[in-house]
């Protein structure tokens, strides 16, 4: 199994520890992932801004970089969703089809491809889970409140298997945090308010460690947590899972 790690640009620059944790976690689970140095971006920021045409060369570059791999794993459901859903704009060569099916969110990969359902380890904290929309509604990694009252999902199950962990129950289980890519600056006021409301839900319900599978949402939420100097740590799920898995 040839596996590549895709590290989104903001993770590369601002949250290298998330890339490192992803790599190490995979290794502990028996997968040696490579990091192809030529990688850049999935093109989502451009496409979501209405510049899909300008993103096409980036798509092609992504395909060139990753079409040799059986799986391309990213600690970000959003990029994966973009590759799977929006690379339909490219001519559907075997390579393009390959990267569209081989793209996996890290937690999805661990759960569905590796078949891992439990992680041994201890994490004695009150953990609040942020469900990122693209992973949840886009990639169906978790149940949606629009469909069912049952709160279930891949990450919830993996985290739930840790000893001593207490998952906090939110008033609104899966409301969007308001990051939204360029939305976070083009609609800064609404974006901030959405983030503040999300964080407040966690505060109300006792979260001391805020986590999730998509670093972009977490970057936004962390920005709010730090601005308000709240006693809450923000960690990508890979950091928690990697730290508890010796």
Partner 1 sequence: MNHATRAAKFVGDADRTTWHDETLWFVRAKRDKAVYAVPEFQDLRELASQIKDHTLSKLDTYLEQFEEQAKRNGVHVHWAADAAEHNAIILDIIRKHNATRVVKSKSMLTEECHLNPHLLSNGIEVVDTDLGERIIQLRDEAPSHLVLPAIHLKKEDVGETFFQHLGTAKGEIDPQVLTEAARQHLRARFLAAEVAISGVNFAVAETGGVVVCTNEGNADLGVNLAHVHIAAMGIEKLIPRLSDLAVFTRLLARSATGQPVTTYTSHYTKPAAGKEMHIVIVDNGRTKQLGRPDFRASLKCIRCGACMNTCPVYRRSGGHSYDFTVPGPIGAILSPNIDMKKHSSLPFASTLCGSCSDVCPVKIDIHTQLYKWRQVLGEANEIPASKKWSMKLMGRLLTSPKVFGVSGKLARQGIKYLPYSLTHARHFNVWAVARELPTPPKQSFREWYQQQAKNPA
Q: Please state, in angstroms and rounded to a whole number, the distance separating the CA atoms of residues 231 and 64.
A: 44
Please tell me whether residue 180 binds partner 1 under the rule CB under 8 A: yes
15 vs 71, beta carbon nearer partner 1:
15
110 vs 177, beta carbon nearer partner 1:
177
Of 107-115, 156-164, 189-197, 202-210, the window that binds partner 1 (rule: CB under 8 A) is 189-197
Q: Please state, in angstroms and rounded to a whole number, the distance separating the CA atoms of residues 59 and 115.
A: 29
Q: Please state, in angstroms and rounded to a whole number, the distance separating the CA atoms of residues 86 and 88.
A: 5
Min separation Cβ 245 and partner 1, Å: 17
- Residues pairing with 238 in the sheet: none
62 vs 104, beta carbon nearer partner 1:
62
Min separation Cβ 147 and partner 1, Å: 7
Element (H, E) at 166: strand 166-167
Q: Please state, in angstroms and rounded to a whole number, the distance separating the CA atoms of residues 195 and 205.
A: 16
Q: Count of residues binding partner 1 (CB under 8 A)?
A: 77
Please tell me whether residue 169 binds partner 1 under the rule CB under 8 A: no
Q: What DSSP character marks residue 132?
A: P
Considering only residues 77 through 116, tell me which ones interact with partner 1, judged by CB under 8 A: 86
């Amino acid at each position: 199994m040839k596996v590549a790690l895709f590290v989104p640009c903001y993770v590369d620059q601002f949250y290298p520890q998330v890339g490192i944790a992803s790599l190490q976690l995979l290794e502990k689970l028996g997968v040696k992932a490579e990091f192809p140095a030529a990688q850049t971006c999935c093109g989502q920021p451009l496409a979501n801004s209405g510049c899909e045409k300008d993103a096409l060369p980036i798509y092609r570059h992504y395909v060139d970089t990753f079409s040799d791999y059986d799986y391309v794993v990213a600690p970000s459901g959003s990029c994966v969703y973009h590759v799977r859903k929006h690379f339909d704009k490219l001519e559907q060569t075997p390579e393009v089809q390959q990267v569209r099916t081989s793209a996996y969110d890290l937690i999805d990969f661990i759960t569905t491809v590796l078949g891992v359902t439990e992680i041994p380890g201890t994490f004695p904290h009150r953990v609040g889970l942020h469900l990122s929309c693209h992973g949840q509604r886009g990639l169906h990694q978790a149940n949606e409140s629009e469909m069912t009252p049952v709160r279930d999902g891949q990450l919830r199950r993996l985290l739930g298997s840790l000893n001593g962990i207490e998952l906090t129950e939110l008033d609104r289980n899966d409301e969007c945090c308001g990051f939204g890519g360029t939305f976070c600056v083009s609609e800064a006021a609404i974006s901030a308010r959405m983030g503040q409301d999300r964080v407040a839900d966690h505060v109300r319900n006792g979260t001391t460690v805020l986590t999730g599978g998509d670093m972009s949402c977490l970057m936004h939420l962390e920005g709010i947590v730090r601005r308000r100097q709240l006693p809450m740590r923000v960690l990508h799920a890979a950091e928690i899972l990697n730290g508890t898995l010796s």
